[in-house]
Structure 1
Amino acid sequence: MRDSHVGGPMLWPYGDPWPVCSEPHQLETEGYAPDEIRSARAVGTWPESRPWPRTGSSREGGPAPFVGLAQFFRRDVPGLAPGPDNADLVQLFRCPYTHMSPQEYRCHLRWRRAAETESAARFLMSPPEVPLLRWENELPQPCVLHPEEVDTYPWAEGDTLPAPLIDLIDAWDDAQAAEHGPEAPNYQYDLSIPPGWRVGGYPSWASTGPMPVGCAACATPMRLLLTAEGTEMHGGSHSWVPLEDRDPSLRGEASIRGGSSVARPTRLRFWDRDLHVFTCPADPGHPPRWLLS
């Protein structure tokens, strides 16, 4: 709980109310028990689904305890933007249930000062959990982090870059495809933005196209705090695959050594999109925004 990680225990002082989602949720017919998901993963099998309880607050629309996705300390991730009152620990949560559509998420962001939080007398060891999750991939597999700093560049579409520069990038992409075929390097996926979990940098807009993200409180253009993605590497981002995890003689999916356990270590899925979390640079205390793109 004192590490930066995806999944796993949060550094949560005992007695602090655990965040809950009180919005209405879709009625479900079946789901997966968190403990059974963990047990199945431990032996390399798939958990069995169970009928959804016919009664209970979660089925009736809430409240439902949020699932802890990740926490980051600035001491581990120097590029982490400061939070309110210079908070240096951020914790990300997601509602485990479906709202208006499977692609719609409700998230919660909690900022803390690490030193103050670590000095608490007691910590919550077993946070509340919902009895069933709609999908097996809603439960994060605990993963420690080994952060790496990389240079990233804006998504080349719309007005994210000057139009003449985008034209040059498109021409370069076309030339690479003509020379190397389907596995040719590509600006968007091989050079500009890496896949996987990342802090700062630029958002990817593969599914939605670029869109303005303004603060609801003051209209200031918001800054990307972090991105969560289910896949750390894939065939379309060959250049970002760590050398120790790829076969240099191959390209695409075939080059990834270790299969899905390496490519998807967190076991999470965001409907094949990125979950972007934005904060206000003028006042980090203003409400954050999250977008799937």
Structure 2
Amino acid sequence: MTRTTPARPVLVEAVFPELAAHRGRTTRLHPRPGRPGTHESHVGGPVLWPADEPWPLCREPHRPETEGYEPDEIRSARAEGVRPRSRPWPASGTPGEDGPAPFMGLAQIFRRDVPALASGPDGADLVQIFRCPFTHGPHLERRYHLRWRRATDTERAERFLAVPPEVPMLRWEDELPEPCVLHPEEVDTYPWAEGDTLPASLIARIDAWDDARAAEHGPDAPSYQSDLSIPPGWRVGGFPSWASTGPMTIGCASCSTSMRLLLTAGSDETDACSHSWIPLEERDPSPRGTAPRPGGPSVARPTRLRFGRDRDLHVFTCPADPGHPPRWILS
């Protein structure tokens, strides 16, 4: 089933013609619970991994925990539509606290499924994203891992890893991704209007326009940031959203080149400020037509993952050399 973004509630270039010069494209991935295969793009599905290749491990010390959830119990509870039961952490300590912990596969994306995916080193056209299942230090920092591959070369492997290594306990239920198939869709987007992302005079006019519409139509009136610039959820390319941090300059640590946005992993597919982005196929048929159809987490948070306090995780790569280390930014 396709997912179709509705026309924007306001033709933003008619109000601000100069935005045409800043228009960009992003691919909304629209992950939805399903049964993705190893050779498909997905969130939370089986990763295409040669059986003779070592699985990535996080070797840093991990924060001790007191309670958590067993992955299989999380899966069973989701299948039954109930909350999983938390358990005391094993007396032996945090799995991985005294040794390496296997990273958890979050997503893989093939360019054959998402043509807008930027190239990796040596023409790599498959990207795989991983996260350490545990937090680090007093600030609960996270560690991520990115693996580039050439899809055709990888698919020639004689055998593939059937079951990746997995830690026996997770601190939070939302550490475990729900297997999701993707429904890629390209849409027009515009930069976040703050700081130096657009000319200062244009940002001032956008802010004034937003204020005037809110005063005339109330707080639910469409606004530039929520309804006209950047969609929520998982997406490839386009512009980063900066709702929590404000705009940041992201430079490559290896060569100082300004980095480009590879992809965004969103905690939510929709929230109170983004109803206008709900796909046509999932919109409430009522006259207002802004609420999602009944579906609970499968629509609002299909992947079940959480990044920070319901923020966006932006993955930046170096356009001068995609082999340089990526940067992971929560905003």
Per-residue CA shift, 1:79-129, capped at 9, x if unaligned? 000001010000000011011256522100000000011111100010000
Q: Report if the CA contact (8 A) 2:177-2:304 is conserved.
A: yes
- Distance apart, 1:245 and its partner CA: 1.4
Per-residue CA shift, 1:223-243, capped at 9, x if unaligned? 000000121112211221111
Per-residue CA shift, 1:31-60, capped at 9, x if unaligned? 111111111111111111111123267353
Structure 1 match to 2:18: none
Segments of 5+ residues of structure 1 without an aligned counterpart are none
Measured in 2, the distance between the counterparts of 1:197 and 1:136 equals 19
Measured in 1, the distance between the counterparts of 2:270 and 2:228 equals 14
Structure 1 match to 2:287: 249
2:162 is aligned with 1:149: no
Measured in 1, the distance between the counterparts of 2:73 and 2:140 equals 25
Q: Report if the CA contact (8 A) 1:238-1:251 is conserved.
A: no
Matching residue's letter, 2:292: I
Q: Report if the CA contact (8 A) 1:183-1:251 is conserved.
A: no
1:77 to 101, 104, 114: 114
Residues 30 and 275 of structure 1: CA distance in aligned 2, closer, same or farther (over 3 Å): same
Measured in 2, the distance between the counterparts of 1:148 and 1:186 equals 22
Q: Report if the CA contact (8 A) 2:65-2:94 is conserved.
A: no
Measured in 1, the distance between the counterparts of 2:196 and 2:179 equals 38
Q: Percent identity?
A: 74
2:309 is aligned with 1:274: no
Measured in 2, the distance between the counterparts of 1:138 and 1:101 equals 18
TM-score by length of 2: 0.85
Residues 103 and 158 of structure 1: CA distance in aligned 2, closer, same or farther (over 3 Å): farther
Deviates most, 242-251 or 165-174: 242-251
Structure 2 match to 1:233: 270
Q: Report if the CA contact (8 A) 1:139-1:267 is conserved.
A: yes
Measured in 1, the distance between the counterparts of 2:93 and 2:250 equals 37
Measured in 2, the distance between the counterparts of 1:180 and 1:133 equals 45
CA RMSD of aligned residues (A): 1.4
Deviates most, 226-235 or 275-284: 226-235
Structure 2 match to 1:45: 82
2:158 to 114, 121, 124: 121
- Distance apart, 1:211 and its partner CA: 1.0
Per-residue CA shift, 1:181-206, capped at 9, x if unaligned? 01110111101110000000111110
Structure 2 match to 1:134: 171
Q: Which has the higher contact order (CA 8 A, sep 6+)?
A: 2
Q: Report if the CA contact (8 A) 2:192-2:230 is conserved.
A: yes
Segments of 5+ residues of structure 2 without an aligned counterpart are 1-37
1:1-293 matches, within 5 Å, as 1-55=38-92, 58-101=95-138, 104-247=141-284, 249-250=287-288, 255-258=291-294, 259-270=296-307, 271-293=309-331
Measured in 2, the distance between the counterparts of 1:144 and 1:168 equals 40
Measured in 1, the distance between the counterparts of 2:138 and 2:113 equals 35
Residues 98 and 139 of structure 1: CA distance in aligned 2, closer, same or farther (over 3 Å): same
- Distance apart, 1:179 and its partner CA: 1.8
Q: Report if the CA contact (8 A) 2:64-2:93 is conserved.
A: no
Residues 126 and 76 of structure 1: CA distance in aligned 2, closer, same or farther (over 3 Å): same
- Distance apart, 1:269 and its partner CA: 1.0
Total equivalences in the alignment: 291
**Secondary structure of residue in 2 paired with 1:81:** coil
Per-residue CA shift, 1:69-88, capped at 9, x if unaligned? 00000000000000010100
Residues 231 and 102 of structure 1: CA distance in aligned 2, closer, same or farther (over 3 Å): farther
TM-score by length of 1: 0.96
Measured in 1, the distance between the counterparts of 2:147 and 2:160 equals 16
